[in-house]
Protein backbone atom coordinates (compact mmCIF):
# COMPACT_ATOMS: atom_id res chain seq x y z
CA UNK A 1 0.00 0.00 0.00
CA UNK A 2 1.34 3.39 -0.90
CA UNK A 3 1.82 6.53 1.20
CA UNK A 4 2.40 4.73 4.48
CA UNK A 5 -1.13 3.35 4.74
CA UNK A 6 0.05 -0.26 4.69
CA UNK A 7 0.98 -0.40 8.40
CA UNK A 8 -2.41 1.10 9.38
CA UNK A 9 -4.18 -1.52 7.30
CA UNK A 10 -2.13 -4.39 8.68
CA UNK A 11 -2.66 -3.20 12.26
CA UNK A 12 -6.42 -2.90 11.67
CA UNK A 13 -6.53 -6.40 10.15
CA UNK A 14 -4.64 -7.81 13.14
CA UNK A 15 -7.01 -6.10 15.60
CA UNK A 16 -10.04 -7.35 13.68
CA UNK A 17 -8.67 -10.90 13.88
CA UNK A 18 -8.10 -10.63 17.64
CA UNK A 19 -11.61 -9.29 18.24
CA UNK A 20 -13.23 -11.95 16.08
CA UNK A 21 -11.34 -14.64 18.02
CA UNK A 22 -12.62 -13.14 21.28
CA UNK A 23 -16.17 -13.02 19.93
CA UNK A 24 -15.95 -16.66 18.81
CA UNK A 25 -14.92 -17.60 22.35
CA UNK A 26 -17.79 -15.59 23.84
CA UNK A 27 -20.23 -17.21 21.41
CA UNK A 28 -19.19 -20.61 22.75
CA UNK A 29 -19.59 -19.43 26.35
CA UNK A 30 -22.89 -17.53 26.30
CA UNK A 31 -25.92 -19.76 26.73
CA UNK A 32 -28.75 -17.31 26.02
CA UNK A 33 -29.86 -16.85 22.39
CA UNK A 34 -30.12 -13.06 22.71
CA UNK A 35 -26.53 -12.75 23.88
CA UNK A 36 -25.37 -15.03 21.05
CA UNK A 37 -27.26 -12.75 18.65
CA UNK A 38 -25.39 -9.71 19.99
CA UNK A 39 -22.09 -11.56 19.56
CA UNK A 40 -23.02 -12.29 15.94
CA UNK A 41 -23.93 -8.63 15.39
CA UNK A 42 -20.51 -7.51 16.62
CA UNK A 43 -18.87 -10.15 14.41
CA UNK A 44 -20.80 -8.79 11.40
CA UNK A 45 -19.26 -5.36 12.02
CA UNK A 46 -15.78 -6.87 11.95
CA UNK A 47 -16.64 -8.89 8.85
CA UNK A 48 -17.77 -5.68 7.15
CA UNK A 49 -14.47 -4.02 7.98
CA UNK A 50 -12.55 -6.85 6.37
CA UNK A 51 -14.74 -7.44 3.32
CA UNK A 52 -16.22 -4.04 2.52
CA UNK A 53 -13.64 -1.48 3.59
CA UNK A 54 -10.32 -3.29 3.47
CA UNK A 55 -11.48 -5.48 0.59
CA UNK A 56 -12.25 -2.33 -1.37
CA UNK A 57 -8.65 -1.21 -0.93
CA UNK A 58 -7.43 -4.56 -2.29
CA UNK A 59 -9.77 -4.59 -5.30
CA UNK A 60 -10.12 -1.00 -6.48
CA UNK A 61 -7.42 1.42 -7.55
CA UNK A 62 -7.95 4.77 -5.86
CA UNK A 63 -5.99 7.89 -5.01
CA UNK A 64 -4.25 8.09 -1.61
CA UNK A 65 -6.81 10.59 -0.27
CA UNK A 66 -9.65 8.19 -1.02
CA UNK A 67 -7.70 5.29 0.51
CA UNK A 68 -7.22 7.33 3.67
CA UNK A 69 -10.97 8.08 3.78
CA UNK A 70 -11.82 4.39 3.42
CA UNK A 71 -9.44 3.52 6.26
CA UNK A 72 -10.94 6.24 8.44
CA UNK A 73 -14.42 4.83 7.83
CA UNK A 74 -13.17 1.34 8.65
CA UNK A 75 -11.66 2.65 11.88
CA UNK A 76 -14.99 4.26 12.80
CA UNK A 77 -16.85 0.98 12.33
CA UNK A 78 -14.04 -0.75 14.24
CA UNK A 79 -14.61 1.60 17.17
CA UNK A 80 -18.33 0.78 17.25
CA UNK A 81 -17.67 -2.96 17.01
CA UNK A 82 -15.01 -2.81 19.70
CA UNK A 83 -17.35 -1.00 22.09
CA UNK A 84 -19.94 -3.75 21.68
CA UNK A 85 -17.28 -6.44 22.08
CA UNK A 86 -15.95 -4.88 25.29
CA UNK A 87 -19.46 -4.52 26.69
CA UNK A 88 -20.23 -8.16 25.94
CA UNK A 89 -16.94 -9.22 27.53
CA UNK A 90 -17.70 -7.24 30.70
CA UNK A 91 -21.16 -8.83 30.89
CA UNK A 92 -19.65 -12.29 30.47
CA UNK A 93 -17.19 -11.60 33.29
CA UNK A 94 -19.67 -9.95 35.67
CA UNK A 95 -22.89 -11.87 34.95
CA UNK A 96 -21.50 -15.12 33.62
CA UNK A 97 -22.47 -17.20 30.59
CA UNK A 98 -26.16 -17.23 31.55
CA UNK A 99 -26.54 -13.43 31.22
CA UNK A 100 -29.88 -12.55 29.68
CA UNK A 101 -29.41 -9.03 28.26
CA UNK A 102 -27.21 -5.97 28.13
CA UNK A 103 -27.38 -4.03 31.37
CA UNK A 104 -29.35 -0.86 30.97
CA UNK A 105 -27.55 2.40 31.45
CA UNK A 106 -28.86 4.82 34.07
CA UNK A 107 -31.03 7.50 32.55
CA UNK A 108 -31.14 11.09 33.62
CA UNK A 109 -34.59 12.60 34.05
CA UNK A 110 -35.12 16.16 32.94
Q: pTM here? A: 0.82
Q: What is the spatial distance between Cα 51 and Cα 7, in angstroms, rounded to a whole number? A: 18
Residue 102 or 10, more confident:
10
Cα gap 84→50, rounded to integer Å: 17
Q: How many CB atoms lie within 10 A of CB 58?
A: 9
Going by pLDDT thresholds of 50, 70 and 90, the confidence category of residue 16 is: very high
Q: Which residues contact 7 (CB under 8 A, 6 or more apart)?
A: none
pLDDT score, position 1: 47
**Could you report the per-residue pLDDT of 17-75, keeping only the tens digit for each?**
999 999 999 999 999 999 999 999 999 999 999 999 999 988 889 998 999 999 999 99
Please report the sign of the dihedral spanned by the C-alpha atoms of residue 27, residue 30, residue 39, residue 84. Answer: negative
Q: Identify the pLDDT of residue 90.
A: 92
Amino acid sequence: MQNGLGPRIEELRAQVGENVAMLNQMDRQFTQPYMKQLVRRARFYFDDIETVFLGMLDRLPMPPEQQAAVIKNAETVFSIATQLTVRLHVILITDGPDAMALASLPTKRL
